[in-house]
Structure 1
Amino acid sequence: MASSSDPWMRELNDASKLVDEVSAMVSQRSSLPLSGSQMQRHMSTARRKMTILRTKLETLQSLLSKFPGKQRITEREMNRRQDMLNKLSVKAGEVAPTLNMSMSADRDSFFGLDRNRGDIMKIANDLDNHDLVGFQRQIIKGM
């Protein structure tokens, strides 16, 4: 078994904590105001943590495939670590779409696209660049 001083295991534990933090942040989103800087900061922090998590997972996979020769581990331990990493990657993969959907919904709501996206697209398709800028200004004034 790996000791707690093993850098790979510490990195895996850090990644596991990050998955839990991002998941909690996405869950807390419903308790925050729908608009405003507090929501933006909260979701920005969640996105930043998700980016850090992805980097950690890639690093862990890379380290596992090139495990240092001075640290002898059995094939069984190698398989156990691969399983732990796979489970953590799946868990992170389940959180990512939820985070992306909430970001998309926030953006659409902020720009008013959640209500009449189809109508706006129909109008914008027939406009040249000059008219499109005027149409954008009109939409912004109407918000």
Structure 2
Amino acid sequence: MAASRDPWMREYNEAVKLADDITDMISEKSSFPTTGQETQRHSSAIRRKITILSTRLDSLESLLSKLPAKQPLTQKEMNRRKDMVANLRSKVNQMASTLNMSNFTKRDSLLGPESKSVEAMSRTAGLDNAGFVGLQCQIMKEQDEDLEKLEETVISAKHIALAVNEELDLHTRLIVRVLFLSH
């Protein structure tokens, strides 16, 4: 009965139900033809639910770190809940990999870890104004370097796009010439 009053457990149980639903949908996928609109819709629905589940797991982790004082947990219970979320996240990553959602499992490598605010707070703790300004200059330098890397990537992508465009123009002219000569 206490678990039903615990909002975290309620949210976790809903996440488990969603994970079971996704597992069932993945099992059903084998009954669909390998290609077709219905198969694509089914796969999209699975991907959407996996993304929703991942967001719920993020929410569960956030709730664990912000539990109200009136609902204190022992360290053992806190660790148990963290393990529960980690196990469910592992299951979600496995489901995502079955659907080749490679970008899903690499989200942290693309966006960076979500604990950056905690890291920023620890970096600024105990700094005076001059130290804070120095840290800010260092961060800006790092951001400038990251932007330079991004610029190189964008320029490279632009050159590739221009080369593809030239190739398409050439193929278009050749196709038009072949069509013109065949008539």
TM bucket by the smaller chain?
A: 0.5 to 0.7
Give 1:134 shift.
7.4
Report the counterpart of residue 51 of structure 1 in structure 2.
Answer: 51
Distance in 1, Cα, partners of 2:36 & 2:173:
26
State the shift of 1:88 in Å.
0.8
**Superposed displacement of residue 7, structure 1:** 1.0
Structure 1 position 30 matched with structure 2 position 30: yes
Describe the superposition over 1:28-79 as per-residue Cα deviations: whole angstroms up to 9, x where unpaired: 2121122222112211110110110010010001111121222122222111
Q: What TM-score, normalized by structure 2, do the two folds share?
A: 0.54
- Pair 18,130 (structure 1): closer, same or farther in 2 beyond 3 Å: same
1:130 aligns with 2:156: no
Q: State the one-letter code of the partner of 2:168.
A: N
Residue correspondence of structure 1 range 79-118 to structure 2 within 5 A? 79-100=79-100
Aligned equivalent of 1:111: none
Q: Which residue of 1 aligns with 2:9?
A: 9
Gap regions ≥5 residues in structure 2: 102-162, 175-183
Consecutive unaligned residues of structure 1, counting only runs of 5 or more, are 102-123, 136-143
Partner of 1:140: none
Cα deviation, residue 3, structure 1: 2.0
From the CA coordinates, give the structure whose radius of gyration is larger. 2
Aligned residues: 113
Q: Distance in 2 between matches of 1:13 and 1:134?
A: 60
Overall identity of the aligned pairs, in %: 51
Runs of 4 or more, structure 1, over 4 Å off, are 132-135
**CA RMSD, Structure 1 to Structure 2 (Å):** 2.6
CA change 1:69–1:132 in 2 (3 A) is farther
